[in-house]
Amino acid sequence: GRVPSDATVLFDGSHLGGWQGRDGEAKWKAESYFMEVVPGTGDIQTRRGLGDGQYHLEWRAPHIVKGESQGRGNSGVFLMTLYEIQVLDCRDNPTYADGTTAAIYGQFPPLVNACRKPGEWQSYDILWTGPRFDGERLLTPAFVTVIHNGIAVQHHREIQGPTRHRQATSYQAHAAELPLKLQDHGDLVRYRNIWHRAFGGETP
């Protein structure tokens, strides 16, 4: 796909220079036009902070299907390093509802299963408005709309707080811009064509 003229390209397929891993350098594989999780090397995140806007990512679950439920093609897109939109191979792969593909992990299932077959590229367009704080106090929570392969699967959902697994969550004050993080969950998930467009003007 073409990149809009007002977008910041976060990964164009050539190198991981704009990304870092837990010990500094991002240790995932970047080759030809995509990056791929190298299991055990940890999550990676952009060097720059990002806030409100449209996040576009394309991802691909491994074409060799193995594992089941959360063990199949698992990764994740963490907005502002804290709030996960699940990446999973959910084609013929039952799992718990708020852990399936395009779920706001641990909070809201998607409206519909829009998954393509494993091995096929899929897209996420994530419209994100981050939380606002006044000192330590939450003023407004984050809101997210997720479009998976052109299908709206989350519509203006109010995020309850940072992603937790089977636990209540609550906000902790943080900066207005934080890195975009991708999850190493041990599966050979690939990403390509990642960009962000900041929303101009006022947001609530």
Q: Is 76 in the site for Mg ion (CB under 5 A)?
A: yes
Q: Which is nearer to Mg ion, 129 or 163 (CB)?
A: 163
Nearest-approach distance from CB 86 to Mg ion, in angstroms? 5
Burial 164-180 (b: 16+ CB within 10 A, else e): eeeeebebeeeeeebbb
Stretch that binds Mg ion, among 59-67, 124-132, 180-188, 196-204 (CB under 5 A): 180-188
End-to-end CA distance of the chain: 30
Determine the 3-state secondary structure of 188 from DSSP: coil
Q: Compute, in degrees rounded to 10, the torsion defined by CA atoms 145, 138, 164, 156.
A: -10
- Mark 29-68 with x for binding to Mg ion (rule: CB under 5 A) and - for no binding: ----------------------------------------
Please list the residues that pair with 123 across neighbouring strands: 58
Nearest-approach distance from CB 76 to Mg ion, in angstroms? 3
Q: Is 131 in the site for Mg ion (CB under 5 A)?
A: no
Query: Which residues are near Mg ion by CB under 5 A?
Result: 74, 76, 183, 185
